[in-house]
Amino acid sequence: MADLKTPYDVIIVGAGVAGCSLAHALASTPRREPLRIALLERSLEEPDRIVGELLQPGGVMALQQLGLEETLEEIDSIPVHGYCVTRKENIVHIPYPAGHKGRSFHHGKFIMNLRNAAKKAKGVDVIEATVNDLIESESSQQIIGVAATKKNAKDSENISLYAHLVIIADGCFSNFRTKVMGPRVCTPVTKSYFVGVILDDATLPYQYHGTVCLTESAGPVLLYQIGSHDTRMLVDVKAPVPSDLKGHILKKIVPQLPSVLHTSVTDAVQGGNFRKMPNSFLPSVMQGGNEFGTKEGVFLVGDAWNMRHPLTGGGMTVAFNDIVILRDMLARVQDFSHWDEVREGLRRWHWDRKPLASTVNILSFALYDLFGADDDNLEVLRTGCFKYFELGGECINGPVSLLAATIQSPATLFYHFFAVAFYSIWVMFTHARLVERGPGLKPQLITPSFTDYPFLLIKAILVIWTAVVVFLPLLWTEIRWWSPNDKNARTTILFRYGMPVAALATVAFGAFKLTF
Ligand SMILES: Cc1cc2nc3c(=O)[nH]c(=O)nc-3n(C[C@H](O)[C@H](O)[C@H](O)COP(=O)(O)OP(=O)(O)OC[C@H]3O[C@@H](n4cnc5c(N)ncnc54)[C@H](O)[C@@H]3O)c2cc1C
């Protein structure tokens, strides 16, 4: 590296949520020598996307720690005081505890504020250019810069920039994930799609609350206000996406929404201005080169590295929290050309971010599996989950604090998830349920009797097994440190040791809970 011209200390690719906040954070950290940072973005125009529109209270707190809370102002943002979950006309209110508050907004307006904050930070050059490639040192194979095409008024110009550290923050469709990860690369798995439309002047069941509508035989629907007159609706659809989206939403979804939403949703859907985004799962992999097998001189942040289901609106919260920890970690490295120090910092960062990131990641998919249930046992869990919330008190405060990212604890998540599982079984044995009585006859509410118990006992075992199969693999993706593509290691350890231990632990936990 010594013989190379190094005009920048850090190059950041992508001026989105993670890139802008990282540039600002690095520039604001006191150092012996101020850093020179290049922040490259392919288009500096206001983005128009259906992502990143609700920031959880934990994300607002991280933004404050980064000194960026001003970016939530002057964009017609809306306060968020919690959630409500609906099943047709049944509504359960789930406020954030202790007066915590999130914010929702038009994504593009928020990004423009973040970009302005990055532009104003000392030592940051924001350059409108598309990065085409990473430049590798021929002798060390370390990444030493980027090749990009600069967007000029008349023409486009190819440029090469060099730095000790290249940080990739190019989002969910990252072009550089494979190159950085090398043999450790893991590909995002698309779980479903969110189809988005904007409703005009809609009335939500609870004002200033995110709304999650559960539907039967279709995915959940998410609604939140993003401006004085605009409400975002995201409809979860599984692949293959129906060719007649309008018909799908009008016939299958609208009748299952609370009636207060019918008119505004129908009007917006008739307008048919749909946008679609994949909902992807991408577990994080240890970075830093050497024994981790990833490239040196470069690493990934944000969605390029780690993704979870957007149902719980946790992506930006994870990104900002990651940047807070990364900022403190990089502040201890005086010279970014000392890769051994950076590698050690990345290793610490990987684990230090886990309490929040793992909680948000696991929660998003665990809830998605329950709320998007298309299986009988998951349906039992979904009913149990709704009734668990109806119990109120800690059965609401605990889960919503995890969702809000004000509690960072996979153990608390484990507790509530399996409390829901055992409560679902209790509900199955004790609560009346609608039973079909044959063609032409109305379904009837029937409470299970002793003769149903043997069947219900078998079902209870299947329900617990389903809960274990949903939760444990998610937990596993968070605590393992090798590549998830390393199938042999994963399968052996997961099934030979992990599952039986987990099943035993779960049964012991359930017995404890039922006894006390
Ligand atoms: C449907 C959906 C809804 C979501 N809703 C929420 C929500 O409500 N709340 C929440 O917290 N999270 C939400 N998320 C997740 C959230 O949007 C992401 O976690 C967050 O945007 C990740 O930030 P990022 O900086 O990694 O990527 P981005 O914000 O996508 O930024 C990447 C940037 O890189 C630029 N770029 C890409 N390639 C290049 C290149 N080659 N050269 C130069 N620049 C490049 C892009 O133009 C972009 O500006 C949602 C996700 C989805 C899919």
**Alpha-carbon Rg for the chain in angstroms:** 24
- Distance (Å, whole) CA 37 – CA 25: 11
pLDDT value, residue 92: 96
Q: How many other C-beta atoms can be found within 10 angstroms of the C-beta atom of residue 358? A: 23
* Gap from CA of 177 to ligand 1 centroid (Å): 14
pTM here is 0.92
Is there a contact between 103 and 127 (Cβ–Cβ < 8 Å)? no
- For tokens 């995110």, name the residue: 210
The per-residue pLDDT for range 321-344, each reduced to its tens digit, is 999 999 999 999 989 999 999 999
CA dist 80 → 210, 260, 369 (Å):
7, 19, 24
The CB of 19 under 6 Å from ligand 1? The reply is yes
Q: Is the CB of 17 under 6 A from ligand 1?
A: yes
Give the closest residue to 123 by CA, choosing from 25, 43, 16: 25
Pocket test for ligand 1, best of 48, 54, 172 (most atoms within 8 A of CB): 172
**Measuring CA to CA, how many Å separate 268 from each of 90, 199, 380, 392?**
23, 5, 33, 34
Task: List pLDDT tens digits, range 240-269.
Answer: 899 899 999 999 999 999 999 999 999 999
88-111 per-position pLDDT tens digit:
889 999 999 999 999 999 999 999
CA distance 92 to 86: 6
Q: What pLDDT does 507 receive?
A: 59
By most ligand atoms within 8 Å of CB, the mutation choice from 11, 13, 17 for ligand 1 is 17
Taking alpha carbons only, the member of 269, 242, 243 closest to residue 255 is 269
CB 41 within 8 A of CB 115: yes
Reported as a single tens digit per residue, the pLDDT across 26-39 is: 999 999 889 999 99
Cβ neighbours, 10 Å, residue 79: 13
- Residue 218, burial from CB neighbour count under 10 angstroms (0-12, 13-18, 19+): buried
* CA–CA gap between residue 383 and residue 388 (Å, rounded): 9
CB of 383 closer than 8 Å to CB of 371: no
pLDDT at 183 over 80: no
Tens-digit pLDDT profile for residues 437-493:
777 777 778 888 888 889 999 999 999 999 999 999 999 888 865 554 444 444 444
Residue having the nearest C-alpha atom to atom 19 of ligand 1: 315
Q: Which of 303-317, 406-420, 444-458 is the least confident region?
A: 444-458
Q: What is the mean pLDDT of residues 161-166?
A: 96
**E strand or H helix that includes residue 480:** none
Q: Is the CB–ligand 1 distance for residue 161 below 6 Å?
A: no
Residue 288 has pLDDT above 90, yes or no: no
What six digits make up the tokens of 505?
């632990």
Q: What is the pLDDT of residue 433?
A: 79
Q: Which residue's alpha carbon is nearest to atom 45 within ligand 1?
A: 14
187-241: per-residue pLDDT in tens?
Answer: 899 989 999 999 999 999 999 999 999 998 889 999 999 999 999 999 999 988 9
- The pLDDT score that the predictor gives to residue 510 is 58
Closest atom of ligand 1 to 171 CA is: 27
Cα 49 from Cα 111, distance rounded (Å): 11
51 C-alpha vs ligand 1 centroid, how far in Å? Answer: 7
Cα separation, 452 vs 115, in Å, equals 61
